[in-house]
Structure 1
Amino acid sequence: MGPSGAVSSDHVLASAVGADVLKRGGNAVDAAIAMAGVLAVVRPHMNGVGGDNFMLIRDSKTGKVYALNGSGRAGSKATPAFFAEQKLTRVPGSGILSVSVPGAVRGWEDALRRFGTTTLRQALQPAIRYADLGFPVSTRLSLDIAGEVKKVAADSALARTFLVNGAAPSPGSLLVQKELAATLRLIAAGGARAYYTGAPAQKIAAFMEREGGLVTAADLAKHSSTWQEPISTTYLGKKVLAFPPNTQGATFLQMLNLAELHDLTAMGRTSTDYVHLMVEGAKLAYADRDKYIADPAFATVPVEKLLSKDYARELGARIRKDTIVAESSDDSRDGNGDTIYLTVVDKDGNAVSMIQSLFAGFGSGRMVPGTGIVLHNRGALYSLDSSHPNIIAPGKRPFHTLCPAMVLNDDGSLFATFGSPGGDGQPQTLIQVLNNVLRFGMTPQQAVEAPRWRVFGAGRLGVEPGLPDDVRAALTRRGQQVNVQPPSAEFGGAQMIVIDRRSKARLVGSDWRREAYGIAW
């Protein structure tokens, strides 16, 4: 902890770069984009220039929080008719048809142009260095690549970059990505325009055309980020901000509204009632998410209704303490953590809560030859149901699970910035971490380390060790399908910075489930 600055991310190298930027006089946005660039290199299976990002940015001069939507859109060939002709009832979960326009690079540049004090050229230098010269493979990265060997081996460019004699690189070995370094140099020199209209775009478009993809050069050239207003609710005297649709930010806020109906603090965080009520509330929020959340440019999303306290009371009346009532999502595509999250607070109180992703491990499983660009598979989350608001359409953004958050005090000052990977599980991780701080008096580090639970598809309730045996038994009697699981990225990988209201010190929490690292001074 300390008063001068704080950073936290999924990798020590990224956090070190962010801290260095702040110490050299850069602000929170400068640090965040430098960290995002490094994470695109050192967590190449989780995020990168072929993926998307979302940011909440607090400007300390005005106290206002801005939302930057750095997600891409469906290609011009991505029509329901195309998939019908292919006799597909779902967008494939991987492969070339799951690729939508990558939005991350434009997001980087737009954030820096509006709130940064540095250039994209300067911000990307650490990332270029680690891509060009290499970085040590961690145990986690080695295991993650090993878990995706079949997917990686099926693509010659991926295999050449990430496999050694057909296997994952061993911990401690050096991973070099020369082609990615060259792409990053082009972006550094020419900005986002170089990526979306220059050589990288030409190679992406040619690859998509050759492989039967749905994104064209024109789709890439016209891509833009969108500045939006964050959505919010009040919770325990604080204002909690999240990202608006096309993300599940509203789902997180709905969970908070439902949680506030009960005296959860008195129940205790490991009690049967606490877990049961939280789980049932999560299921109800997910049901609304699956029904309504889509790109608001193409569909009417009733955000005001979903976040209404009256609606929460109406919905909450369906919950029963002694049995399950709510159904849960049964989506087998639920991502389990192939995403990165980072957060920064500088000495002036500027802050960034940022999440960046390829969706699945190594995204679509396709790398554009000669570029080092791993293309994401976020298009897999479009619906092909003509009655659903998330139905695929050219130029439409897909539903996103990505869910960065911030919390403000009653006077508008910053209380916390936090987030987590984890696909569907992100809102569940966020509410547990926030409750640990606000209700149970934990420090950020204690809050992110504490055992967690998560509702999975088909009603399965995964719990980490730490929940008492009698509580698990009682939950089972109430109808919960309890399954004890070892701690893993399936339960998220939370990062959190809390600002002490009196001392202004920044307190950091970094999740050991993700080899995360926080620095404050």
Structure 2
Amino acid sequence: MRDFHFPGRSVVRGQECMVATAHPAASAAAFGILQSGGNAVDAAICAAALLAVVEPQASGVGGDSFVLGHVSAKGKTFGLNGSGKSAGTMTADGLRALGYTGMPLRGALSVTCPGAVDTWVRLHADHGSLDWDKLFQPAIKAATGGYVVADRVALDWKAFEAALTTTPETAARLLTDARAFRAGEIHRQPELASTLCEIAAKGRDGFYRGWVADDIVATLAQGGSSLSHGDLDGTSSFYVDPLSVDYKGFQVLQLPANNQGATALLLLNILKHLPKTDYFSAERFHLLLESARLAYRERDRSIGDPDHTNVEHWRFTNDAYAADLAAMIDPERTTREFGEPVTRKSDTTTISVVDGSGNAVTLINSLYHHFGSCVVAPRSGVLLQNRGNGFNLIPGHPNEFGPGKRPLHTIMPGMTLKNRKPSLVYGVMGGDYQAIGHAQLITNIVDFGLDVQEAIDLPRTFHFKGFAEVERSMPAHIVEGLTRRGHSVQVAHLPIGGAQAILIDPHRGTLAGGSDPRKDGMAIGM
């Protein structure tokens, strides 16, 4: 329990149901769905649709989505991969011929097919309970009448203001007086409201066919992309069997490739073989960083689209392999031979819901980098993701760009089970940071006994461009200890990532929710 002499946020406690999102409007809307008889899936979709409006830098209908869910009545846990493919006729050689040595960050050539809407449709058809169109009413209202820009959204908006001049259509919809929208101002998206109405009325056909699809394809063609109507209409989410490892009595679930989730499993497996430390010590953060470098190295070597490459998932879940890696770590010194992981910062949003029947869902939705490709289809108001930047142009690499491929994906929903029932339902935001973020959150709770809010609040560190980045809240003694062990430490420009989590206590029959103060949101329970 936190010390109430200091500022902070209490864990939110409830008995029947709980929701945690990165925006108060989304948390309130999702909680309203639960109160009106909807289940966890209904609430998660409602929140995702609304976040697509009120967090335009992080997520949208033009992005991708992944899901981990648990159906209580069936005792079944499932994974859903909602990542879209690259255009069917675009090749790596074609990009190299245009002068690219790496994947473009912004613009039409960085866009892959958006998978989020198809994911929501499939999730609702198989597991939802309320009428589909009801789930979109809060989002339609916010896009039509406007919403008040929240403070963290405004911070990100200002930080990436210059990128929004990529096209005149983008600037017209996401800038005001040639500047970013500020906290407290009202932002309206009437074109996006029309698209949300189409989706509410027609399901996936309202997005992947008809005038919305026409607008997306025509806009991308103007930017040189060959993404076609066939590519869009062929977008299909699909169920996957989660991977898992045992971490000190908890079954930790992650999605398989093309998702990076296995990276967190390997990281946790490595940590199991390292000495126990104090939770707020330089030694603890050093071991976390070194373990992450090894886990990310494995990711960067081997994860790609399993339809196009053989991904050896066993390396990420095998305890003996992790023990060998752990033996390479020097507790007193960083090991340069591990190399530097390829890490990028990005934004996303994650939603955690548990309902009164014990159903649980973690849904994560993303445009990848802040504002994705920065390309808006003008008639539909759809801001498109830049997931193509997740590929590389290394010939023969498992994640080399190619036609009709899914890139290595950073967004990873999280769940742990205890006795085959959900115990922690969570997600961590922040692009490549997410794998180490998952590991830090779980170890904060399992190893060090922090409550779910304390576990989210704890200062963070992450390898980025040769530096061990830390948040400004990291104490000086930890920074000094990392420096003494050979890390090049620098303070991160923006807070590192974000998280939403719900801890389930089966013995007491209670729920505990935490929401990241690095974002604008909150947990709500009853």
Q: Would you say same fold, with TM above 0.5?
A: yes
Distance 1:181 1:414 in 2: 35
1:450 equivalent among 458, 480, 497: 458
Structure 1 residue 465: Cα displacement: 4.3
Partner of 2:429: 421
Distance 2:475 2:133 in 1: 52
Structure 1 residue 154: Cα displacement: 3.2
Relative to structure 1, the CA distance from residue 114 to residue 272 in structure 2 (aligned partners, 3 Å threshold; closer, same or farther) is: same
Distance 1:474 1:140 in 2: 31
Partner of 1:500: 505
Distance 1:468 1:83 in 2: 45
1:286-435 equivalent positions in 2, closer than 5 A: 286-325=296-335, 327-329=338-340, 331=342, 334-336=344-346, 338-409=347-418, 411-435=419-443
Distance 2:210 2:368 in 1: 25
Partner of 1:168: 180
Asked whether the 8 Å contact 1:343–1:417 carries over to 2, the reply is yes
Partner of 1:516: 521
Q: Which residue identity is paired with 1:495?
A: Q
Structure 1 residue 205: Cα displacement: 1.2
Q: Does 1:227 align with 2:239?
A: yes
Distance 1:468 1:46 in 2: 29
1:128 equivalent among 111, 129, 140: 140
Q: Which residue identity is paired with 2:81?
A: N
Structure 1 residue 226: Cα displacement: 1.1
Distance 1:90 1:512 in 2: 35
Asked whether the 8 Å contact 2:300–2:341 carries over to 1, the reply is no
Structure 1 residue 271: Cα displacement: 2.1
Asked whether the 8 Å contact 1:19–1:519 carries over to 2, the reply is yes
Asked whether the 8 Å contact 2:109–2:223 carries over to 1, the reply is no
Spell out, residue by residue over 1:110-152, the C-alpha distance to the aligned partner (whole angstroms, 9 max, x if none).
0000111123312111111111111111222223222222211
Partner of 2:6: none
Q: Is there any run of 5+ residues in structure 1 with no aligned partner, and where?
A: none
Distance 1:256 1:160 in 2: 45
Relative to structure 1, the CA distance from residue 146 to residue 110 in structure 2 (aligned partners, 3 Å threshold; closer, same or farther) is: same
Partner of 2:487: 480
Q: Which residue identity is paired with 1:510?
A: S
Partner of 2:9: none
Q: Structure 1 vs Structure 2: percent identity of aligned residues?
A: 37
Distance 1:229 1:370 in 2: 38
Structure 1 residue 477: Cα displacement: 2.1
Structure 1 residue 224: Cα displacement: 0.7
Q: Is there any run of 5+ residues in structure 2 with no aligned partner, and where?
A: 1-12
Q: Which residue identity is paired with 1:238?
A: F
1:439 equivalent among 426, 439, 447: 447
Structure 1 residue 212: Cα displacement: 1.1
What CA RMSD, in Å, does the superposition of the two structures yield over aligned residues?
Answer: 1.5
1:250 equivalent among 262, 268, 272: 262
Spell out, residue by residue over 1:286-345, the C-alpha distance to the aligned partner (whole angstroms, 9 max, x if none).
00000001111111000012210010011111111122125343546x023x11111100
SS at match of 2:203: helix
When structure 1 is superposed on structure 2, of 22-31 and 199-208 the one drifting more is 199-208
Structure 1 residue 469: Cα displacement: 3.1
Structure 1 residue 155: Cα displacement: 1.7
Structure 1 residue 492: Cα displacement: 1.2
2:286 equivalent among 276, 279, 289: 276
Asked whether the 8 Å contact 1:208–1:216 carries over to 2, the reply is no
Distance 2:169 2:512 in 1: 42
Q: Which residue identity is paired with 1:329?
A: E
Distance 2:480 2:463 in 1: 17
Spell out, residue by residue over 1:68-101, the C-alpha distance to the aligned partner (whole angstroms, 9 max, x if none).
1111001012212211321322121111110010
Structure 1 residue 424: Cα displacement: 1.1
SS at match of 2:291: helix
SS at match of 1:124: helix
Aligned length, in residue pairs: 513
Structure 1 residue 162: Cα displacement: 1.9
Q: Does 1:44 align with 2:56?
A: yes
SS at match of 1:73: coil
1:8 equivalent among 20, 45, 52: 20
Q: Which residue identity is paired with 1:121?
A: D
Distance 1:386 1:484 in 2: 35
Asked whether the 8 Å contact 1:281–1:316 carries over to 2, the reply is yes
Asked whether the 8 Å contact 1:270–1:467 carries over to 2, the reply is no
Distance 1:45 1:170 in 2: 13
Distance 2:482 2:56 in 1: 39
Q: TM-score, normalised by structure 1?
A: 0.96
Q: Which residue identity is paired with 2:509?
A: K
Distance 1:473 1:168 in 2: 37
Relative to structure 1, the CA distance from residue 111 to residue 508 in structure 2 (aligned partners, 3 Å threshold; closer, same or farther) is: same
Relative to structure 1, the CA distance from residue 467 to residue 384 in structure 2 (aligned partners, 3 Å threshold; closer, same or farther) is: closer
Q: Which residue identity is paired with 1:167?
A: R
Q: TM-score, normalised by structure 2?
A: 0.95
Q: Which residue identity is paired with 2:327?
A: A
Asked whether the 8 Å contact 1:52–1:358 carries over to 2, the reply is yes
Partner of 1:262: 274
Partner of 2:3: none
Asked whether the 8 Å contact 1:405–1:419 carries over to 2, the reply is yes
SS at match of 2:19: strand
Q: Which residue identity is paired with 1:111?
A: L
2:87 equivalent among 75, 92, 98: 75
